[in-house]
Amino acid sequence: RLFDLDPDLLPLFQYSCKQFASPQECLSAPEFLDHIRKVMLVIDAAVSHLDNLPCLEEYLCNLGKKHQAVGVKVESFSTVGESLLYMLEKCLGAAFSPDVREAWTELYGAVVKAMRRGWEALPEGD
């Protein structure tokens, strides 16, 4: 779904300087699948620390800095969020109620807000 929503994200997923010819090629690459696992670990950490999201602040801010360093635009996280909600809706079916959608939207928004601080942080020494 991600590349359907924004095909311009494909060039960001280059591993060992390999440029993927198609979204399908990227989606089947072991490196991309590993990246997806890492994304889901971040989501899992947020869910696990739902009552104390500030404890993830430094980690998420640094994660934001890393994404900025490789050329990810902060706006791209909206597309990732939309893809996440789409996947949840497809997997949960009728259980994906408006309240569940709202809860996931809020959680993802909190994660992105913390990651955005990585873009906003001044380099050390400034």
pLDDT bucket at 19, cuts 50 / 70 / 90: confident
Are the CB atoms for 13 and 20 separated by under 8 Å? yes
What's the pLDDT score for residue 95?
96
DSSP 62: H
CATH superfamily of domain region 1-120: Globins (1.10.490.10)
pLDDT digits (tens, 9 = 90+) for 1-14: 888 998 888 888 87
Separation in Å, CA 125 to CA 64, 90, 114, 116: 19, 47, 21, 20
How far apart (Å, rounded) are the C-alpha atoms in residues 105 and 81?
Answer: 8
The C-alpha angle 69, 70, 76, rounded to 5 degrees, equals 100
Spans of all domains in the chain? 1-120
How far apart (Å, rounded) are the C-alpha atoms in residues 2 and 72?
Answer: 14
What's the pLDDT score for residue 126?
46
Predicted TM-score (pTM) of the model is 0.83
Calculate what percentage of the chain has a pLDDT beyond 70.
94
Over residues 37-54, mean pLDDT: 93
pLDDT digits (tens, 9 = 90+) for 81-114: 999 999 999 999 999 999 999 999 999 999 999 9
